[in-house]
Amino acid sequence: MKTHLISGGCGFVGRNMVNRLYNNTNDRIVFIDNLAVGKHPNTWLNHPFQKSQGNMNIYGEDERLCFIEEDFRVTLQKLVHQPEYLKKELGLDIERFADVYHFAAIVGGRAMIDGDPIQVALDLSIDAEFFYWISRHKPERVLYPSSSAAYPVNLQTESNAIQLKESDIDFNHMGQPDMTYGWTKLTGEFLAQITAKHYGVSITCIRPFSGYGEDQDYSYPTPAIARRAVFKEAPFEVWGSGHQGRDFVHIDDVLDCVEVAMEKIHDGSAINIGQGVLTSFRDLIEIFCEFAGYQPEIKPLLDKPVGVHSRYCDMTWVKDNLGWEPKISIREGMKRVYDAVMAREIAEGNLKPE
Ligand SMILES: NC(=O)c1ccc[n+]([C@@H]2O[C@H](COP(=O)([O-])OP(=O)(O)OC[C@H]3O[C@@H](n4cnc5c(N)ncnc54)[C@H](O)[C@@H]3O)[C@@H](O)[C@H]2O)c1
């Protein structure tokens, strides 16, 4: 049986990947998270808890889901210094991991990126330990999620808002990325290319734009705006002028693209994942308020952090070279989020069913 590894497996992207791999394969999935932000699997896995082995919980009747609650850096150091650790301590007989998805990171949204940049810089230490381990372990394939934040900020201003192309990041002519978050992702991409080239590991890097989905935390703008629309906030507050825009892409599309990309990209180079559509926060509010059936006045909160003015991508390279295009339109994806938020609020007793 193949075994895949997912770091940060209890975060937004990680949870979706754990469920997807479990549903689409017969393989075993080991996922690791320190639960700094992530949710405990008891709250989101629809498969029964079976047993514990050391600090690992095993779920699913076929025992294919193995959760280790630990700082991934600690796991990585154990794996480097004692390659037999998983077998000896946890009874997991794994010669070599098949796919390794590295989602463990301090992300936290705009408030964290601007408000505590040195905490975000700890991602450098997570990534450095990670690439060191994979250069030794050499899994079959590796996914490294970079970010749209790696792009130079001077290409994302009000007067210079362009559709960002993969080639807009050039290690020979560097621009300045978005805060420490963007720098860590750029460094991660560089380490990915070096690890692929010098150690012969197959690595794919992705630059997702603003990923969203039904089970995303309320600290992110999409579910937070949906929730306020569900409660018919009026006037409707928006951070900044609300004219700043992002390229929102549904998590199912992101993970579909990952699957295609990992088949075709092995040298650590990075691709965009977005819709290629710029949607302003005012547009987003309008969509959710339309679902809620009202038209509030918009109240800008000019003291809130807003990040760059316009961040969206050009998907031409991906379409031409991978033959992949996103399938879930903004309206369809946002309706799914709206319905999920409504269901969550009703289930928690905060809202009466209509
Ligand atoms: N969600 C998006 O739209 C998006 C866009 C671009 C890039 N990414 C990247 O994808 C990855 C996952 O993002 P996400 O949205 O799921 O974020 P998230 O914050 O929901 O998930 C990150 C997970 O990592 C865990 N974690 C943090 N530090 C850890 C450590 N030292 N050891 C073990 N676990 C640790 C957290 O508890 C959390 O569960 C990140 O690298 C992020 O930068 C995401």
Best CA proximity match to 192, nearest among 253, 149, 130: 130
Say yes or no: CB of residue 344 within 6 Å of ligand 1.
no
Check residue 353 and give its pLDDT. Answer: 84
Determine the average pLDDT of the residues in 143-148. Answer: 98
CA–CA dist 37, 40 (Å, integer): 10
Predicted pLDDT at 108: 76
Q: What is the pLDDT of residue 228?
A: 97
Give me the pLDDT at residue 275, please.
Answer: 97
Q: What is the pLDDT of residue 161?
A: 83
Strand positions, DSSP E, the chain = 3-7, 28-33, 49-53, 56-59, 65-69, 99-102, 141-145, 163-164, 202-208, 210-212, 236-239, 245-246, 248-250, 267-273, 279-280, 298-301, 310-313
Q: Is the shortest distance between the CB of 145 and ligand 1 below 6 Å?
A: yes
Kindly list the distances between the CA atom of residue 2 and the CA atoms of 45, 54, 87, 144, in Å, as whole numbers in the listed order: 21, 22, 15, 20
pLDDT above 80 for 354: no
Cβ of 147 below 6 Å from ligand 1: yes
Residue 327 tokens, joined: 């399938």
| Cross-strand partners of 56 | 53, 68
Name the closest-CA residue to atom 1, ligand 1: 211
pLDDT band with cut points at 50, 70 and 90 for residue 158: confident
* Residue-level pLDDT at 261: 98
Nearest CA, atom 9, ligand 1: 145
Number of CB atoms found within 10 A of residue 10's CB:
26
Q: How confident is residue 263, by pLDDT bands cut at 50, 70 and 90?
A: very high
DSSP 122-143: THHHHHHHHHHHHHHH--SEEE
Quick check: CB of 122 below 6 Å from ligand 1?
no
If you average pLDDT over residues 66-80, what whole number do you get? 97
Question: What number is the average pLDDT over the span 329-342?
Answer: 97
Q: pLDDT-derived band of residue 86, with 50, 70 and 90 as boundaries?
A: very high
Q: How confident is the model at residue 143 (pLDDT cuts 50, 70, 90)?
A: very high
Residue 299 has a pLDDT of 96
- Which tokens hold the place of 6? 């997912």
Q: What is the mean pLDDT of residues 263-283?
A: 97
The first and second tokens of residue 162, run together, are 């362009």
What is the mean predicted confidence (pLDDT) over 297-323?
94
**Res. 260: pLDDT tops 80:** yes
Residue 109: predicted pLDDT: 77
Cβ of residue 36 lying under 6 Å from some atom of ligand 1: yes
Pocket test for ligand 1, best of 5, 7, 10, 13 (most atoms within 8 A of CB): 13
How many whole angstroms from 10 Cα to the centroid of ligand 1? 9
Rounded to the nearest 5 percent, the helix, strand and coil shares of the chain are 40, 20, 35
What separation in Å is there between the alpha carbon of 248 and the centre of ligand 1? 17
Residues 6+ apart with CB under 8 A from 354: none
Cα–Cα dist 8/72, whole Å? 8
214 lines ligand 1 (CB under 6 A): no
34 lines ligand 1 (CB under 6 A): yes
How many angstroms does the Cα of residue 306 sit away from the middle of ligand 1? Answer: 20
pLDDT of 306 strictly over 90: no
pLDDT at 110 over 90: no
35 CB near ligand 1 (under 6 Å)? yes
Q: Please name each of the domains of the chain with its CATH number.
A: 3-212+251-276+312-328 (3.40.50.720)
Q: Is the CB of 74 under 6 A from ligand 1?
A: no
Q: Which residue has the higher pLDDT, 354 or 193?
A: 193
> What pLDDT is attached to residue 23?
97
User: Ligand 1 centroid to 9 CA: how many Å?
Assistant: 8
Pocket test for ligand 1, best of 10, 12, 220 (most atoms within 8 A of CB): 12
pLDDT > 90 fraction of the chain, expressed in percent and rounded? 92
105 within ligand 1 shell (Cβ under 6 A): yes
Question: Is the CB–ligand 1 distance for residue 279 below 6 Å?
Answer: no
Mean pLDDT of the residues in the chain? 96
Q: How high is the pLDDT of residue 111?
A: 78
Average pLDDT, integer, range 68-87:
95
| Ligand 1 site, residue 104, Cβ cutoff 6 A | yes
Task: Write phi, then psi, for 207 (nearest 5 degrees).
Answer: -115, 85
pLDDT score for 293: 97
Nearest Cα residue to atom 12 of ligand 1:
103
* Mean pLDDT of the region 11-38: 97
With a cut of 90, say whether residue 332 has pLDDT above it.
yes
